[in-house]
Amino acid sequence: MPSKPTAIVPDEASRMECRVIDPPHPAVIDSDRLLESCELRTQRRSGPGGQHRNKTSSGAFLTHRPTGLVGEATERRSQAQNRDVALQRLRYLLAIEVRTPSPLDPSGWQADRDEATIRQRYTNHSFRLNESNGDKPAVLALVLNDLWTAGGQPSLIAETWAVSTSKVVSLIRSYAPALTWVNRVRHHHQRLPLH
């Protein structure tokens, strides 16, 4: 039986094209700092009482100015609740769509305090994070940074996080857009998709 090829980190020139920004990753920073870089737009919706009564400005749309990405929420009656939901959705969107340098990239990585805090907190962790965990978008963002650098190979980043490859894959599978994105990276490098 032939041996399995050794996984190697692809060179920078062969990586899939992505939007790369300087650290810290916006999904990692605290809510107040993230909100400072966002523009809030509200939208009038009908509130309780029928189609033409009790219009409320409860819909919230948060636009992250540096990237133009938008998190939105309109399903709740409270503008404050919709803003919080929109912020969490924006964090997930940023985690998927934006990359920052990874420690697997020897040429350009420098430790950022915010990213280092998340990496330290979740190194040797089970990676079982539910959707309401405020750190999940941050952890996903950093794991996806590493996977982008590693050409979508979970086995190459597992050691960085001191977890098993299956735990990395489980985290990715727990959020469908992350799995879709990783499979795009894998396809770019002519690898089979993760399931």
Percent of the chain residues past pLDDT 70, beyond the cut: 90
Cβ proximity of 148 and 102 under 8 Å: yes
Q: Answer yes or no: is pLDDT of 194 > 80.
A: yes
DSSP-derived secondary structure letter, 113: H
Write out pLDDT tens, residues 158-175.
999 999 999 999 999 999
Beta carbons within 8 Å of 9's beta carbon, 6+ residues apart: 104, 105, 149, 150, 151, 156
Write out pLDDT tens, residues 43-84.
876 555 555 555 666 899 999 999 999 999 998 888 899 999
Q: Answer yes or no: is pLDDT of 5 > 80.
A: no
pLDDT band at 98 (very low <50, low <70, confident <90, very high): very high
Residues of the chain with CATH 3.30.160.20: 32-94
pLDDT of residue 132: 86
Beta carbons within 8 Å of 21's beta carbon, 6+ residues apart: 66, 67, 98, 99, 100
Which CATH number describes the domain made up of 32-94?
3.30.160.20
Q: Answer yes or no: is pLDDT of 34 > 90.
A: yes
Question: How much is the pTM?
Answer: 0.90
Positions of E strands within the chain: 19-20, 38-46, 55-64, 70-73, 98-99
pLDDT band at 111 (very low <50, low <70, confident <90, very high): confident
Q: How far apart are CA 140 and CA 68, in angstroms?
A: 20
Q: Answer yes or no: is pLDDT of 2 > 80.
A: no
